[in-house]
C-alpha cells in the first residue's frame, strides 16, 4: 500500500515524558507494578500454542494464498464499497449492507452458500470480524475508517503484496532453531517460538516510515535490566535539539545528562542556537522514565537496533503502531525476557526483584536465541487464512508508482531483498512440538463455516514473481484446495 493508507501523525514520543527529579525505591516498585498491570490490560494474549506465522512452511503457504487470490481475480475480484457504507453496523439494511455482504463473500469471509440478503445480520458481523482479524485490525464488527480502507484494496494489489512477500521469503536464509523469536514489521507483532509452536505473542511498536525498522537476522545474547539510554545522534539532532532551543531545562526534566566527549556538562551553559548536535551526547538514567523502559534486549547487528520495553505503553492500544525510531518496543518485554532466560538462573520473579532493587544489571541466557525481523505484507497463515498488513514502508510498490512531494518522506530501505531463488531455501527441520499447558488461542478462528475455495490445477499457468531488484522469476504454483474461513 502507499502511504495514503495511513493518515495519522508519526510523532516520536520516546523522550517527551517529564517526571520528578528523584524516585524512592518504594515508588519505583509501585510504578513498576502499575505499568506491568497496564501492559497485561491491553496486550493480545501472551500464550498462543499454535504454529507460528513465520516458519519453514510459510513460503509454501504463501504460494497457496497466491493461487487462491488468483482464483478470486479470475472470478472478477470484488467491488469497492461506496463512501456511504462507512459506519455500517449490525442491524443495518439496504443496498450498502448487501454490498458489504458481497464484498465479504468474495474473499470467503462470509460463507458463499448463505442465501442473498440485504441485512447486516449476525453472520455478517462475524464475517467482518474475521476480515478484521486477517488484516490486523480491532475486531469491532463495524465498518470503521481503517476497515473501510482495507475492504476497498483491489485484488490486484493484494496479489502484488503476496508476490512481494513470497519473494522476500524465498530469499531468507534464516536458521530455524528449537527456540527463536520473529517480529513481522508490518504486523507490529512478535512471536516467541518453542519447538515449532508459539509460546508467546506480543504486540509491538515498530519504526515509523522515515525511521524504518530494518529486516535482519541475529541472536539475543543478553538482557539489560534498568538500562541507560544513549540517544542516537539522529534523535538528538531531530528531536532533542529543537526542545533544548526552547527549554534548556528539558534534559533535566527527562533525566537526561549531557556530555561533550566524556565530560558531563551543564546544558544551560550551551548556546543552543549555535550548537552542533555532533558535538554532544545525551544519556538517560535508568528508571521508569527511561525511553527503554525497564529492559533492553541485546541483539548485535549492523543497524544498532534492538528490542526493548518503553515508558509509553499507551501506544500498544492502537491499531496503527508505526511510531518508533527504528527499534522495536515490546508490550510485555519483561515476560519476553523471562522466556529468553528459561534454562538459566533468572526467573521472571528474579528479573522483577532486580528491577525493584534499582540497580542496573546485564544477564545472559543459557544459549543465544535466534531472531528474525521480517517484512511480510501478505502471507498464508498456518490456519489456512490469508493475512494482510499495510505496506507502511512502500516496499511492495514499484518506485515509478510512488508519488511523494518530499523525497525525504520515503525511507531508505534497510537490508532489502535482492535476487530471488527459484526454490525456497532449505530450513532446518523443526523439532516435534511439545505440549504447552496454556489454552490454545486463535485470532482468526472462524464463526461461520466456510466452503473450501477449490483452486483448479494451474501447473500450466505460471505465477510471475517480481523482486524489488526488478528481476523476474517464474515459480510454478502448486494445485491446492484452500479454505478461507468465513468468520
Active-site residue, from 135, 255, 312, 327: 327
C-alpha cell of residue 57: 512452511
In which element (H, E) is residue 246 found? helix 241-246
What are the CA-CA distances from residue 172 to residues 58, 434, 455 (Å)?
A: 11, 26, 27
Q: 127: how many CB neighbours lie within 10 A of its CB?
A: 30
Cβ atoms of 140 and 394 within 8 Å: the answer is: no
Q: What angle do CA 398, 401, 407 make, to 5 degrees?
A: 100
Strand-pairing partners, residue 447, are none
The answer to whether residue 327 is catalytic is yes
What Å distances lie between residue 318 and 46, 107, 198, 308, 321, CA to CA? 17, 26, 23, 18, 6
Range 419-422 contact pairs with CB under 8 angstroms and sequence separation of 24 or more: 419/171, 419/467, 419/469, 419/471, 420/167, 420/170, 420/171, 420/465, 420/467, 420/471, 420/473, 421/170, 421/171, 421/473, 422/473, 422/474, 422/475
Among residues 130, 135, 308, 312, the one annotated as catalytic is: 308
Dihedral (C-alpha) 90, 41, 386, 84: value to the nearest 10 degrees? Answer: 30
List % helix, strand, coil for the chain (3-state, nearest 5).
30, 20, 50
Of the chain, the end-to-end C-alpha distance in Å amounts to 25
Per the annotation, the verdict on 19 as an active-site residue is no
> What residues have CB less than 8 Å from 274, skipping those under 6 apart?
none
Q: Which helix (H) or strand (E) holds 135?
A: none
Angle at which helix 333-340 crosses helix 348-357, to 10 degrees, equals: 120
Kind and range of the H or E run holding 130: helix 122-134
How far is it, in rounded angstroms, from Cα 293 to Cα 275? 29
Active site residues: 308, 327
Amino acid at each position: 500500500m502507499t502511504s495514503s493508507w495511513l493518515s495519522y501523525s508519526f510523532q516520536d514520543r520516546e523522550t517527551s515524558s517529564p517526571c520528578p527529579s528523584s524516585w524512592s525505591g518504594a515508588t519505583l516498585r509501585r510504578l513498576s507494578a502499575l505499568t506491568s498491570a497496564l501492559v497485561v490490560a491491553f496486550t493480545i494474549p501472551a500464550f498462543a500454542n499454535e504454529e507460528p506465522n513465520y516458519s519453514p512452511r510459510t513460503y509454501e503457504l504463501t504460494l497457496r494464498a497466491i493461487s487462491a487470490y488468483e482464483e478470486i481475480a479470475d472470478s472478477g475480484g470484488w467491488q469497492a464499497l461506496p463512501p456511504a457504507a462507512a459506519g455500517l453496523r449490525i442491524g443495518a439494511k439496504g443496498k450498502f449492507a448487501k454490498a458489504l455482504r458481497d464484498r465479504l463473500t468474495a474473499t470467503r469471509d462470509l460463507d458463499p452458500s448463505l442465501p442473498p440478503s440485504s441485512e447486516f445480520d449476525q453472520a455478517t458481523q462475524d464475517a467482518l470480524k474475521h476480515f478484521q482479524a486477517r488484516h490486523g485490525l480491532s475486531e469491532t464488527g463495524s465498518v470503521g475508517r481503517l476497515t473501510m480502507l482495507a475492504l476497498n484494496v483491489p485484488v490486484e494489489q493484494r496479489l502484488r503484496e503476496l508476490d512481494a512477500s513470497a519473494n522476500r521469503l524465498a530469499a531468507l536464509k534464516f536458521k530455524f532453531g528449537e527456540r527463536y523469536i520473529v517480529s513481522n514489521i508490518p504486523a507490529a507483532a512478535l512471536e516467541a517460538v518453542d519447538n515449532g509452536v508459539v509460546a508467546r505473542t506480543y504486540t509491538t511498536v515498530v519504526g515509523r516510515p522515515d525511521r524504518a525498522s530494518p529486516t535482519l537476522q541475529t541472536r539475543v545474547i543478553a538482557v539489560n535490566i534498568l538500562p541507560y539510554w544513549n540517544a542516537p545522534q539522529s534523535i538528538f539532532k531531530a528531536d532533542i535539539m529543537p526542545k533544548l532551543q526552547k527549554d534548556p531545562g528539558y534534559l533535566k526534566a527527562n533525566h537526561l545528562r549531557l556530555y561533550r566527549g566524556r565530560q558531563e556538562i551543564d546544558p544551560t551553559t550551551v548556546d543552543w542556537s549555535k550548537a552542533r548536535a555532533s558535538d554532544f551526547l545525551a544519556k538517560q538514567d535508568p528508571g521508569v522514565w527511561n525511553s527503554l523502559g525497564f529492559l533492553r534486549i541485546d541483539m548485535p547487528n549492523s543497524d544498532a537496533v534492538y528490542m526493548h520495553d518503553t515508558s509509553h505503553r499507551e501506544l500498544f492500544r492502537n491499531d496503527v503502531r508505526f511510531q518508533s525510531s527504528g527499534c522495536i518496543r515490546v508490550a510485555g518485554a519483561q515476560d519476553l525476557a523471562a522466556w529468553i532466560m528459561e534454562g538459566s538462573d533468572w526467573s521472571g520473579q528474579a528479573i522483577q526483584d532486580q528491577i525493584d532493587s534499582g540497580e542496573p544489571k546485564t544477564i545472559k541466557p543459557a544459549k543465544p536465541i535466534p531472531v528474525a525481523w521480517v517484512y511480510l505484507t501478505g502471507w498464508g497463515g498456518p490456519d489456512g487464512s490469508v493475512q494482510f498488513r499495510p505496506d507502511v514502508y512502500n516496499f511492495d510498490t514499484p518506485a515509478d508508482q510512488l508519488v511523494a512531494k518530499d523525497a525525504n518522506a520515503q525511507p531508505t530501505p534497510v537490508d532489502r531483498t535482492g535476487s530471488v531463488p527459484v526454490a525456497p531455501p532449505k530450513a532446518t527441520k523443526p523439532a516435534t512440538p511439545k505440549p504447552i499447558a496454556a489454552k490454545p488461542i486463535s485470532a482468526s478462528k472462524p464463526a461461520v463455516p466456510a466452503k473450501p475455495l477449490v483452486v483448479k490445477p494451474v501447473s500450466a499457468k505460471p505465477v510471475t514473481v517480481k523482486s524489488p531488484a526488478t528481476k523476474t522469476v517464474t515459480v510454478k504454483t502448486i494445485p491446492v484446495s484452500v479454505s478461507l474461513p468465513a468468520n
